[in-house]
Amino acid sequence: MGNLELISKVNEVLAEEFEVEVETISADANIKETLMLDSLSLVDMVALIESEFGVKIKGTEVTTIKTFDDLYGFISERIAA
Amino acid sequence: MNRKVVITGMGIYSCLGKNLEEVKDSLFNGISGIVFDPVRKEMGFRSALTAKLDEPDLKKELTRSQRVYMPEQAKYAYCATRDALKHAGIDQEFLDKNEVGLLYGNDSSADAVVKSVDTMREKKDTTLVGSGAIFQSMNSTVTMNLACIFKLKGMNLTVSGACASGSHAIGLGTLLIRSGLQDCVICGGAQEVNPFSIGSFDGISAFSTRENEPTKASRPFDKDRDGLVPGGGAATIVIESYESAVKRGATILAEIIGYGFSSNGDHISVPNVDGPSRSLNMAIKDAGIDIKEIGYVNAHATSTPVGDRNEAKAIANVLGDHKPEVTSTKCFTGHEMWMAGASEVVYSMLMMKNNFIAANLNFENPDEDSAALNIPSERVEKKFDMFLSNSFGFGGTNSTLIVKNID
Q: What ipTM does the predicted assembly reach?
A: 0.91
Residue B398: count other Cβ atoms within 10 Å of its Cβ. 31
Least CA distance to B135: which residue of chain A? A40
Q: Which pLDDT band, with edges at 50, 70 and 90, does B41 fall under?
A: very high
Chain A interface test: which of B64, B66, B118, B126 (most A C-beta within 10 Å):
B64
- pLDDT tens profile A30-70: 999 999 999 999 999 999 999 999 999 998 999 999 999 99
B168 as an active site residue: the answer is no
Which pLDDT band, with edges at 50, 70 and 90, does B1 fall under?
confident
Q: What is the pLDDT of residues B49-106, one digit of tens each?
A: 999 999 999 999 999 999 999 999 999 999 999 999 999 999 999 999 999 999 999 9
| Reported confidence tier of residue B35, pLDDT bands at 50, 70, 90 | very high
The pair phi, psi for residue B379, each rounded to 5°, is -60, 140
How many Cα atoms occupy the beta-carbon half-sphere of B185 within 13 Å? 28
B160 three-class SS? coil
Nearest CA to B349 out of B305, B314, B375, B388 is that of: B388
Q: Which residues of B122-145 are buried (b: 16+ CB within 10 A; e: fewer)?
A: eeeeebbbbbbbebbbbbbbbbbb
Name the catalytic one among B15, B163, B184, B331.
B163
For residues B123 and A66, what is the distance between their CA atoms, to the nearest angstrom? 27
Cβ atoms of B157 and B103 within 8 Å: the answer is: yes
| CA B400 – CA B172 distance, rounded (Å) | 11
Cα–Cα distance list, B263 to B147, B172, B329 (Å): 30, 15, 24
Residue-wise pLDDT for B353-398, tens only, equals 999 999 999 999 999 999 999 999 999 999 999 999 999 999 999 9
| Side-chain half-sphere CA neighbours of B260 within 13 A | 22
Q: What gap in Å lies between CA A33 and CA A36, rounded to an integer?
A: 5
B383 vs A34: CA distance, rounded Å: 59
CB atoms within 10 A of CB B185: 28
Among B63, B65, B136, B144, most A C-beta atoms within 10 A, so best to mutate, is B65
Neighbour count for residue A39 (Cβ, 10 Å): 8
Q: What pairs with residue B163 in β-bridges?
A: B161
The verdict on whether B300 is a catalytic residue reads yes
Q: What is the mean pLDDT of chain B?
A: 98
Selected residues 67-96 of chain B with any CB under 8 Å from a CB in chain A = 68
Decide if B44 touches A, using CB distance below 8 A.
Answer: no
A·B CB contacts under 8 A: 31
Q: Could you report the per-residue pLDDT of B131-155, keeping only the tens digit for each?
A: 999 999 999 999 999 999 999 999 9
User: Does B131 contact A41 at a Cβ distance shorter than 8 Å?
Assistant: yes
Residue A1 confidence class, pLDDT cut points 50, 70, 90: low
Q: Is the torsion defined by CA of B11, B17, B22, B26 positive or negative?
A: negative
pTM, whole model, 2 decimals?
A: 0.97
Q: What is the pLDDT of residues B238-254, one digit of tens each?
A: 999 999 999 999 999 99
Q: How far is B187 from B403, CA to CA, in rounded Å? A: 15
Q: What residues have CB less than 8 Å from B13, skipping those under 6 apart?
A: B53, B56, B76, B77, B79, B80, B233, B234, B235
* Fold that domain A3-80 belongs to in CATH: 1.10.1200
Fold of B1-407: Peroxisomal Thiolase; Chain A, domain 1 (3.40.47)
Question: A56 and B63: CB-CB below 8 Å?
Answer: no
- Whether A40 and B131 lie within 8 Å, measured CB to CB: yes
B79 is catalytic: no
pLDDT tens-place string over residues B169-202: 999 999 999 999 999 999 999 999 999 999 999 9
Distance CA B407, CA B404 (A): 10
A2 has a pLDDT exceeding 80: no
Domain ranges of chain B: 1-407
The reply to whether B57 touches chain A by the CB within 8 Å rule is: no
Residues in chain A with CB shorter than 8 Å from the CB of B127 are 43, 46-47, 50, 56
d(CA B182, CA B175): 9
What are the φ and ψ backbone dihedral angles of A4, each rounded to 5 degrees? -65, -40
| Partner-chain contact B125 A36, CB within 8 Å | no
Q: How far apart are CA A75 and CA A70, in angstroms?
A: 9
Element (H, E) at A10: helix A3-18
Q: How confident is the model at residue B206 (pLDDT cuts 50, 70, 90)?
A: very high
Burial environment of residue B39 by CB neighbours within 10 A (0 to 12, 13 to 18, 19 or more) = exposed
Under DSSP, the state recorded for B388 is E
Residues B193 and B175: beta-carbon distance below 8 Å: no
Per-residue confidence (pLDDT) for residue B150, from 0 to 100: 98
